[in-house]
Amino acid sequence: MTTVIAFIFMFGLLVFIHELGHLIFAKRSGMLAREFAIGFGPKIFAFTKNETVYTIRLLPVGGYVRVAGEDPEIVELKPGHHIGIEFNNKGKVNKIIVNNKSKHPNARVIEVERADLDLDLIIEGFEIDEEERLRFEVDPKAFFVMDEKETQIAPYDRQFASKSIGQRAMQLFAGPMMNFILAIFIFLILGFIQGVPTERALLDEIQPNSPASEAGFQSGDEIVQVEGNSVSTWEEFTKIIRDNPEESLSLEVERDGEIVAITVVPREIEAQGGTIGQIGVGQAFEKSIVQTIQYSFTQTYDITKLILTNLGMLVTGQLSIDMLSGPVGIYDATDQVVQTGFMNFLMWTAILSINLGIVNMVPLPALDGGRLLFVGIEAVRGKPIDPQKEGVVHFIGFALLMLLMIVVTWNDIQRLFL
């Protein structure tokens, strides 16, 4: 149950922060954000605030912010349509009843001759069996009513396409940006709570029943030599250990001002790309506000670089698609991390946040990076690509991503039972 709660919290936080970035910059630029959704599929919970419907949906595979103009509007008023209209206290149309007009006895029923709800915000037409042509002004925040459900209209100045290239690009980039900001914030928390890992080869926790424990290492020991070679950093020390599984190593450690000789045999463990050595020691930490701030940025940078390197290896075929994990694999990994403690869970959350930010910046259709690519092409060529063509590209891209998700999830399930 602990893992389930942790996974739901982590997934919800990562998606919420990502989509919050999109939502904030959509509203800042004046776009109408129709829906803020966590998950896909059927609605579980929904409420409306400040023009936006906030929903939680059944399938925990992502989320979205639906901005007016990004997808075709549900209702299009064509000549000959019979609609009902209701008015606000300024005499402007504030409700356009598309069907079930009998349920709105106060609505004025007209036959549409022309409607412009993008620029002019007018409806022209005739009352039934009347010849006088009427013209009605429409409130910019009027609603369509279809099947007794209200949908706010979106004048062109509230639509995604009406905004400048910079505003659109920022709205798309804001999601991944917020994931990086979240990671930096989490590393700040870790730094303030437990301190910053020291660069020195200084030991902290010694795991029980580990090679280090059996060899006689103690918390506070500082490694100064391995096999006669001087060691001054944690990175140097751990590289030697990883590179020598099941090999006897002679070390010298400084303990309480004295040099102590210790022999240890790193245990061989399976890792990505082969086997490595491990002795079961933890790195020591130190507390400093300046170092904590530096740590939050350097950790984010280092993990970003590592993920980008692995992504490049995946593209070039150096890594197999089997190395990818979907929700099932992430859940299994989260289960293992949760068992090691809350601090490691926070670290895992930060890593996944960076990963989510990077993946969404990949220039593939349906992802933020793919949509940014189209905005960039528009900036270069001076005019936008046909929205229908762009929509087809994104639809195909989304379908392929869902197919990849199915393949990755199947691989995750197989790994669980191997």
Mean pLDDT calculated for residue range 64-78: 78
**CA-wise closest residue to 220 among 154, 126, 285, 293:** 285
Count of residues making up the chain: 418
Q: Where are the beta strands (DSSP E) in 243-354?
A: 249-255, 258-264, 267-271, 274-278, 281-283, 285-286
Does residue 133 sit in the same domain as residue 213?
no
Token output for 40: 């896909």
Task: Classify 170 as helix, strand or coil.
Answer: helix
Asked which of 255, 286, 317 is the last residue of a domain, the reply is: 286
Q: Name the average pLDDT for the chain.
A: 88
Q: Which of 286, 319, 340 is the last residue of a domain?
A: 286
Q: Report the pLDDT value the prediction gives residue 415, as an integer from 0 to 100.
A: 67
229 within a domain of the structure (yes/no):
yes
Residues 131 and 201 in one domain: no
Residue 267 has pLDDT above 60, yes or no: yes
3-state class (DSSP) for residue 77:
coil
Instruction: For residue 231, give Cα distances in angstroms to 49, 202, 238.
Output: 59, 11, 10
pLDDT band, very low/low/confident/very high, at 136 (cuts 50, 70, 90):
very high
pLDDT of residue 398: 76
d(CA 261, CA 248): 13
For residue 70, the 8-state DSSP code is S
136 and 214, same domain (yes or no): no
pLDDT of residue 121: 94
Mean pLDDT along residues 123-141: 91
Domain boundary among the residues 264, 286, 308 is at 286
Note whether residue 34 is domain-resident: no
What pLDDT, in 10s, does the model give residues 288-315?
899 899 999 999 999 999 989 888 887 7
Q: How far apart are CA 30 and CA 417, in angstroms?
A: 50
pLDDT at 199 over 90: no
249-255 vs 222-226, strand pairing mode: antiparallel
Strand partners, 113: none
Query: Are residues 136 and 201 located together in one domain of the fold?
Result: no
pLDDT digits (tens, 9 = 90+) for 186-196: 999 999 998 88
Band the pLDDT of 72: cuts 50, 70, 90: low
| 39 within domain boundaries | no
Number of domains in the chain: 2
Nearest-Å Rg of the Cα atoms of the chain is 29
DSSP letter string, 359-398: HHHS--TTSHHHHHHHHHHHHHHSSPPPHHHHHHHHHHHH
Classified as helix, coil or strand, 155 is coil
pLDDT(134) > 90: yes
Q: Flag whether 362 is in a domain.
A: no
412 lies in a domain?
Answer: no
Within this chain, do residues 204 and 274 fall inside the same structural domain, yes or no? yes
Same-domain check for residues 282 and 224: yes
- The answer to whether residue 148 scores a pLDDT higher than 90 is no
Q: Is the pLDDT of residue 363 over 90?
A: no
CATH number at residue 204: 2.30.42.10
Clarify whether 19 is annotated catalytic: yes
Inter-CA distances, 87 with 80, 126, 276, 278, 384, Å:
21, 16, 73, 74, 37
Domain co-membership, 210 together with 268: yes
On whether both 214 and 136 belong to a single domain, the answer is no
**Active-site residue, selected from the candidate residues 19, 35, 199, 252:** 19
Instruction: Tell whether the model's pLDDT for residue 129 goes beyond 90.
Output: no
- Residue 319 pLDDT level (bands cut at 50, 70, 90): low
The answer on 201 and 139 residing in a single domain is no
- pLDDT value at residue 22: 96
Contact, 34 vs 53, CB < 8 A?
A: yes
Q: Would residue 227 count as lying in a domain?
A: yes
H/E element, 29: none
Q: Is 247 a member of any domain?
A: yes
Among the listed residues 392, 390, 17, 355, the one whose alpha carbon sits nearest the alpha carbon of residue 168: 390
Between 393 and 234, where is the model more confident? 234
pLDDT of residue 269: 87
The residue range of the domain holding 255 is 197-286
Whether the pLDDT of residue 73 is over 60: the answer is no
Identify which of 205, 203, 279, 281 has the alpha carbon closest to the alpha carbon of residue 244: 279
Confirm whether 330 is domain-assigned.
no
The model's pLDDT over 321-331, given as tens digits with 9 standing for 90+, comes to 666 677 777 77
